[in-house]
Structure 1
């Protein structure tokens, strides 16, 4: 009896997932290429500036590109376990699909031509990428720009009188933050202890936690905890909404900077196949190496190491070198990695 199983990974490779996908048809090759390139930059902008995930923009090799495409553009991210994640693709389809599905138009000269096509998309695997890029053993770490709750206020009190006093100040803070467009929640539930709430919102990845107790009321201060670096500080109540607004911007930048530092420290240039295999097993991450441009060498490396060419970076610097296995001359390095 032969039993087949499909291995699933939440958000990354599952039986069902959601796509954001677009298709366009153009009158000229240049217009279609322009659209293809524009969309990979749109995806990169969203992933970097909203999700806080640094990416390498590039093109796929012939064996890795989308079937039927003349060129596949991609953005590649690096997860904390050293594996690459394809975070979005944009395909220049040439006239291949126009001819296959008989998509025609009348051009300016009155002649009938097949349309030039593009196709581009991302999916819910970006959620998996977000989790794996930023999170830690305590739970999620969410960038403020995407967090459904950006700030949570937790009261620390003994008895109903103290809670009522804190409520008055906390609701005022909440209103000031909402007026600035900040998504804030005041959790004054009485059935859970403050420590329980702290753990809950750490698990959910809420970027900022404000804690208020009786002593804070006396001192006109609050304790502010950052989810990204787990630091705490005491700040005055006066103009707290301005401070929080700026802190959210700082956290967004810091989350990206941390991920970028990890990514950049895990791009390793190698010049021999032995060094390639050593780095792949001991360090992981992206490996920058010369390749002779043949599908044969690409396939051999994939079979022997499970690493694939993730992309040929856009605007790649030209550099003379020798390919890893065949020893043939190469004019540029490409990016290898194990991937999901």
Structure 2
């Protein structure tokens, strides 16, 4: 985030009443919650095949892909599936004249959480094939179970993506208690580093000069990792997350 002071508040006359009942200009910060969030989503969940979009934020949660759609009844059944699911989830259908293989590849690149395949053999067996984007696992689902199983599957995908991202973050977060440990971590397992800090700006400046590392977050829920500042050795005031900005 970036501290903006009162500049914009003064320009747009944004004020509040303080505890003495006096008008004061608000202090603002910018969190950059726009394209940065999309970039973070892509970096955290994406893979070499393309996007992997978590179901809760996916504009399309399931893409129906008819196979051999030129055959009688296939497209009609695909539209029927869409109509059955549209009040439960965000669903669409790819009824273009492209090949199934092309559609599968595009669905993976765009990161739809579930791909639902329906073809003549599936219709004959009263089933569909659901393919998860997060694991690429296939699951056969009876037509009668669609309204219950598809939402369940979306919940499973959401939880799996969260668990996987959390595990990766924890793996890339290391406790450091002095500058030597920070140097070693940056060489062996770069990521977030948790360390105690005395609150002196000169200590942060020293870390920045030596390692190009800055404080990234002072969490509300504090951990007492040590009693001493990892830079100067003086009494520590708070635990801080440190990292390099790329």
1 CA distance for matches of 2:183 and 2:79?
58
1 CA distance for matches of 2:56 and 2:166?
17
Q: TM-score of the superposition, structure 2-length normalised?
A: 0.88
2 CA distance for matches of 1:102 and 1:185?
46
Alignment of 1:1-340 (within 5 A): 66-68=3-5, 113-115=22-24, 117-121=26-30, 122-157=33-68, 160=70, 162=71, 164-180=72-88, 182-190=89-97, 192-340=98-246
Closer/same/farther in 2, CA of residues 198 and 101 from structure 1, 3 Å limit: closer
Range with bigger deviation, 205-214 or 310-319: 310-319
Q: TM-score of the superposition, structure 1-length normalised?
A: 0.65
Compute the displacement of 1:101 (Å): 8.5
Q: Render the CA deviation track for 1:84-121: whole Å, top value 9, x for unaligned.
A: xxxxxxxxx6xx9878998777889xx87232524354
Contact kept, 8 Å, 1:320 with 1:329, in 2: the verdict is no
Closer/same/farther in 2, CA of residues 239 and 104 from structure 1, 3 Å limit: closer
CA-based RMSD: 2.7
Structure 2 residue matching 1:327: 3-state secondary structure: coil
Closer/same/farther in 2, CA of residues 102 and 320 from structure 1, 3 Å limit: same
Question: Would you tell me which structure has more strand in proportion to its own residues?
Answer: 1
Q: How many residues align?
A: 244
Q: Please, which runs of 5 or more residues in structure 1 have no aligned partner?
A: 1-59, 69-92
Compute the displacement of 1:324 (Å): 2.4
Closer/same/farther in 2, CA of residues 251 and 120 from structure 1, 3 Å limit: farther
Q: Please, which runs of 5 or more residues in structure 2 have no aligned partner?
A: none
